[in-house]
Amino acid sequence: MTKYKVAAEISQKVLKEVSGTSQKLEYDLTVTNTVAGWIKADASIVELCERGDTLLGEEVAKVYKGKKVLKGIGHCTTISPSSYVTPYTPLKTDAEEAAATLKAGEVVKIQLGAQIDGFCTIVCDNVLVGGEGETTGREADLLLATHYANELLLRLMVPPGLVAQGDEEEQKKASSRKPYTQTQITQMLEKVVKAYDCNLVESTTIWQFEHNEIESKKKIILAPGEGVKGEGLPEVGEVWGVEMGVSLGSGKVKNNGNRTTLHRRTETKYQLKRPTSRSLLSEVVKKFGTFPFSLRQLEDEKSGKVGVVECVRSGVLRQYEVVVDKDSKPVARLFTTVGEY
């Protein structure tokens, strides 16, 4: 838990620096933003991602000095434009993607994470580009719906019997309660977001975290699509990556067809044939372990774009496809790493 906490402090510090925003949600249902720093209209997305990774590396280097503890970036910095659902990290060698910039008035999602000795914490927050002062209209509805749904979700994740305070009778009563089912969790969250005329993003997945693993066997799927279901619920002593996705549209998603740039290594073993593939995998093992990385983080991005094809086809690497809102509506997303202790 100590290593998780150290990683969490670093992740939160870097997220605050990248987002450069202080968001205050009032009880009278208003959202007030104080924005300063990196997130501005016309700012280059790929440059922001690189700066975020540099800062993550610098902060990680300050802890556990002189000790044989593997540490580094647990999730590279990603900045997802308004209608993007999944983490987005463009490449420098792709002219069109390298030219991608932030647009005034859009809701962008910033996700990143640090890992200490294989214990990773991932965080994600929303920022309204150029949103100085009070946010109004549908963007305010989206941010409020996401915030309150996330607050409810974090409480629903607490295992029965795990209460912060209370006498013996209250503890006993809490422990006798049955845990909420995944269907019940989705139903309660839907009531919250629909109050703001929003919808949950379909098949938003919450994973159990383990040592060197951010997608363990247990998972909860919110608003699951057809034929999709989760498996397992949180228990005391576990760590989970809790994600909340809300859309101003229907919540349905689609692949936008862009090149996949975010990957992570799997446990699959395969004798790669191409030299570029073997070189890529060797670099991934040394620098990223089993945690998500962007092709832009490789020493040779162009070579990596070639080598990654065989790695994905053989199952050695998993690719995270770029998914967007089917209606091209704004999407907000939060990600919190929590420990059930």
DSSP state of 295: G
16 and 55 part of one domain? yes
Angle CA 143–79–268, to nearest 5: 115
Domain count along the chain: 2
CATH number of residue 65's parent domain: 3.90.230.10
170 and 82 part of one domain? yes
pLDDT in tens, 253-298: 999 988 899 999 999 999 999 999 999 999 999 999 999 999 999 9
pLDDT in tens, 48-63: 999 999 999 999 999 9
- Domain that includes residue 267, residue range: 262-319
pLDDT at res. 223: 95
226 and 286 part of one domain? no
304 and 178 part of one domain? no
pLDDT at res. 164: 58
pLDDT in tens, 104-135: 999 999 999 999 999 999 999 999 998 666 77
User: Which of 158, 148, 336 is CA-nearest to residue 241?
Assistant: 336
In a domain, 255, yes or no: no
In a domain, 302, yes or no: yes
pLDDT at res. 29: 59
Q: Give this prediction's pTM.
A: 0.91
Query: How buried is 25 (Cβ within 10 angstroms: 0-12 exposed, 13-18 middle, 19+ buried)?
Result: middle
Which whole number is the average pLDDT over 25-48? 74
pLDDT in tens, 287-304: 999 999 999 999 999 999
203 and 55 part of one domain? yes
165 and 49 part of one domain? yes
Percent of the chain exceeding pLDDT 90 equals 78
* Contact between 74 and 115 (Cβ < 8 Å): yes
pLDDT at res. 173: 75
Q: What is the DSSP string of 47-86?
A: HHHHHHHHHHHHHHHTSSTTS---EEEEEEEEEE-TTB-S
In a domain, 144, yes or no: yes
In a domain, 257, yes or no: no
Instruction: Compute the mean pLDDT over every residue in the chain, rounded to the nearest whole number.
Output: 91
40 and 134 part of one domain? yes
Strands 199-200 and 204-209, how do they pair?
A: unpaired
